[in-house]
Amino acid sequence: MFLGISCGRIGYRSIHKFTKANEAYFTDIFSLKHGVPSHVTLRQLLLALDKDTLSNNVLMNGVLIKIYHL
């Protein structure tokens, strides 16, 4: 999901189109037993995210970086 967002995809349907277009790659790299998640699952994940926490923290190269707004 974050790869789709970082590639400029906005919205769960657009992110799903991105994941479907790259499904073979994602399935192999992330060992997805059942393929990429549906657009419904992506929507549920996006709705469940704590947007404040997410906007204040960024994961870079496996390291969580805390962002402080001045």
Q: Would you give per-residue pLDDT tens digits along the chain (70 residues)? A: 677 777 788 788 888 899 999 999 999 988 989 999 899 998 898 888 777 776 666 665 555 555 555 4
Under 8 Å between Cβ of 67 and 57? yes
Q: What backbone phi and psi angles, to 5 degrees, belong to 63?
A: -115, 125
DSSP H or E run through 8: none
pLDDT reported for residue 24: 93
Q: Is the entire prediction scored with pTM above 0.85?
A: no
